[in-house]
């Protein structure tokens, strides 16, 4: 369901922040980034991961988790680190943020011909297994985190992985937020809670987004933005980053 009232709050928010950097220097200083390469023996696969969390002396109990999946980067690597405006901002707000590098230089490139829902499905399946593996490893290493309120966020191809994960493992996820996923059908369900931020330049494939009737029935949020699909990572302007952070923080705070 479109939430038009957000625009009023958004205008006030952006007006207040337009002369500031997207993330305050103080927040950057408070956020610690740890990178590690995990190894899934069952699939013989390396999975680079970045953890973003508050640089505090004491551990936070029942800290909520956000797992982020990047957009397609043609296997060049490092894409899990180029959404720092979002990952660091959420960490500064108290979330434990995990960003997964889904592509490796040795992987095949995503097909550009054929029906995406068929030819790209193996790549999304691999992404969902990456998320599941990292989630299970996290439960072993950090049992104090809040796994009952897990949120998945993904941009573009990573949003397609996020949507597929919610379809396959709905009981593991509390909320998903997709940033302009275009190919994988969003779940038509009220649990997990579904949010999607749409770009102004690329439409989704037919059937990917729920109808107005389905949005109302399942309380799904479909929010249009004035942001290009390719500007949803660190390339975006400060205003665009602030807009995305505004909506995502709002969605995370909703009960």
Q: What is the CATH number of the domain that holds 198?
A: 3.40.50.1820
Residue 8: which pLDDT band, with cuts at 50, 70 and 90? Answer: very low
With 0-12 / 13-18 / 19 or more C-beta atoms within 10 angstroms meaning exposed / middle / buried, residue 138 is buried
What is the full DSSP assignment across 20-59? S-SS-HHHHHHEEEEEEEEEETTTTEEEEEEEEEE--SSP
Q: What is the Cα–Cα distance from 171 to 166, expressed in whole angstroms?
A: 8
pLDDT at 111 over 90: yes
Residue 30: which pLDDT band, with cuts at 50, 70 and 90? Answer: confident
**Mean of pLDDT over the chain:** 90
Q: How many CB atoms lie within 10 A of CB 29?
A: 10
Q: Domain of 190?
A: 5-253
Please work out, in degrees rounded to the nearest 5, the angle formed at the alpha carbon of residue 50 by the alpha carbons of 183 and 96.
90
Predicted TM-score (pTM) of this structure: 0.89
Residue 255: which pLDDT band, with cuts at 50, 70 and 90? Answer: confident
Q: What is the Cα–Cα distance from 239 to 227, expressed in whole angstroms?
A: 10
List, for residues 193-245, the tens digit of each pLDDT value: 999 999 999 999 999 999 999 999 999 999 999 999 999 999 999 999 999 99
120 — phi, psi (to 5°)? Answer: -95, -10
Average pLDDT of the segment spanning 31-56: 95
List, for residues 47-89, the tens digit of each pLDDT value: 999 999 988 665 677 899 999 999 999 999 999 999 999 999 9
The lowest-confidence range among 8-22, 141-155, 165-179, 222-236 is 8-22
**CB 231, CB 240: distance < 8 Å:** yes
pLDDT of residue 119: 98
pLDDT of residue 11: 43
pLDDT of residue 228: 98
With 0-12 / 13-18 / 19 or more C-beta atoms within 10 angstroms meaning exposed / middle / buried, residue 96 is buried
pLDDT of residue 29: 59
pLDDT at 36 over 90: yes
Q: How many domains does the chain have?
A: 1
């Amino acid at each position: 369901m479109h939430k038009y009232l957000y625009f009023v709050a958004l205008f006030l928010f952006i007006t207040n922040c337009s002369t500031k950097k997207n993330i305050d220097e103080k927040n950057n200083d408070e956020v610690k980034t740890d990178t590690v390469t995990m190894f899934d023996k069952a699939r013989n696969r390396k999975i680079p991961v970045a953890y973003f969390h508050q640089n505090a002396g004491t551990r936070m109990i029942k800290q909520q988790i956000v797992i982020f999946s990047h957009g397609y980067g043609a296997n060049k690597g490092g894409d899990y680190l180029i959404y720092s405006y979002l990952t660091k901002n959420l960490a500064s707000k108290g979330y434990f943020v995990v960003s997964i590098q889904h592509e490796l230089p040795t992987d095949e490139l995503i097909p550009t011909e054929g029906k995406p829902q068929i030819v790209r499905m193996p790549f999304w399946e691999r992404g969902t297994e990456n998320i599941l593996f990292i989630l299970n490893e996290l439960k072993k290493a950090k049992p104090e985190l809040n796994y009952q309120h897990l949120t998945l966020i993904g941009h573009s191809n990573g949003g397609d992985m996020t949507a597929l994960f919610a379809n396959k493992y709905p009981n593991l996820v509390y909320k998903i937020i997709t940033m302009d996923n275009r190919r994988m059908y969003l779940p038509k369900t009220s649990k997990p809670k579904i949010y999607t931020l749409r770009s102004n330049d690329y439409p989704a494939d037919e059937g990917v987004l729920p109808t107005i009737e389905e949005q109302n029935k399942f309380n799904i949020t479909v929010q249009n933005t004035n942001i290009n699909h390719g500007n949803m990572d660190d390339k975006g302007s400060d205003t665009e980053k602030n807009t995305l952070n505004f909506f995502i923080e709002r969605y995370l705070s909703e009960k």
